Chains A and B, each alone.
Chain A
Amino acid sequence: QQPVQSPQAVILREGEDAVINCSSSKALYSVHWYRQKHGEAPVFLMILLKGGEQKGHEKISASFNEKKQQSSLYLTASQLSYSGTYFCGTVSNDYKLSFGAGTTVTVRA
């Protein structure tokens, strides 16, 4: 079953912050975050493992609440290059990566 992402879309001005949420109905082993620019392949941002620490990538960080089966991606001081569609992927006990429908982020100057 696909995880649920929110919001579906967000528009930011350069320098603003945003949070993207990902939740699952299943107990999770790990959460992956990817970013996809228009017409390109998804690119890995980070992975959060059960029992692991919060991860970071440039000014993009994420957290994983195992008890609530939720993860959040934090875009801090957004840059134009942050525009794209962000996907969370969740792995539960079937060891398959299921992706959410994506959150489209548009950063404007």
Chain B
Amino acid sequence: NAGVTQTPKFRVLKTGQSMTLLCAQDMNHEYMYWYRQDPGMGLRLIHYSVGEGTTAKGEVPDGYNVSRLKKQNFLLGLESAAPSQTSVYFCASSSTRTGYEQYFGPGTRLTVT
């Protein structure tokens, strides 16, 4: 039981490049989330999904797209990376929306130069 895993762990991009972050969970959770964490800002919700095939915008969605084609996977895409997207990205999952804990993946450190 691996919990929540994220790929890759580190990545450096040049401005304008694109990439996809992969999140996978093996707990059969319905809900999945993508957060970004910046110094002094805490965790901010980018997008989330309440089930396979559904996604919704969070607090800071601009510049990101997501897809949830399979229940266990949640992908975060950056179509044209900008330096402002330099951050640590965390994926999380939970069995319900509000009443249960969120399990976090180990994070992806992304640097855009």
Known: A42-B90, A96-B59. A87 touches B101 (CB 8 A): no
Report the nearest B residue to A8, measured CB to CB: B40
Q: Is the CB of B98 within 8 A of A41?
A: no
Q: Chain A's interface: helix, strand, loop or mixed, by majority? A: strand
Chain A count of residues within 8 A CB distance of the other chain: 22
Nearest neighbor of A41 in chain B, beta-carbon distance: B104
Q: Within residues 29 to 58 of chain B, which ones have a CB less than 8 A from any CB in chain A?
A: 33, 35, 40-45, 48, 58
Enumerate chain A residues within 8 angstroms of B105, measured Cβ to Cβ: 41
Whether B101 contacts A101 by the Cβ 8 Å rule is no
Which residues of chain A are near B104, meaning CB under 8 Å?
A: 41-43
Residues of B within 8 A of A (CB): 33, 35, 40-45, 48, 58-59, 90, 97-107
Q: Is A84 an interface residue (CB 8 A)?
A: no
Residues 21-64 of A contacting B (Cβ, < 8 Å): 29-30, 32, 40-44, 47, 49
Q: B45, B97, B98, B103 — which one has the most chain A CB atoms within 10 A of its CB?
A: B98
Asked if A95 and B44 sit within 8 Å, CB to CB, the answer is no
Whether B106 and A41, one on each chain, are in contact in the complex, defined by CB atoms closer than 8 angstroms, is yes
Which chain B residues lie closer than 8 Å to A101 at the CB level?
40-42
Taking a contact as CB atoms closer than 8 A, the residue among B40, B45, B102 that contacts A44 in the complex is: B102
The distance from the CB of A56 to the nearest CB of chain B, in whole angstroms, is 15
Query: Of all chain A residues, which has the CB nearest B38?
Result: A101
Known: A40-B106, A41-B107, A42-B104. A100 touches B42 (CB 8 A): yes
Is A106 an interface residue, CB under 8 A from the partner? no
- Most chain A Cβ neighbours within 10 Å, of B42, B100, B104: B42
Assess whether B45 is in contact with A98, with CB atoms less than 8 Å apart. Answer: yes
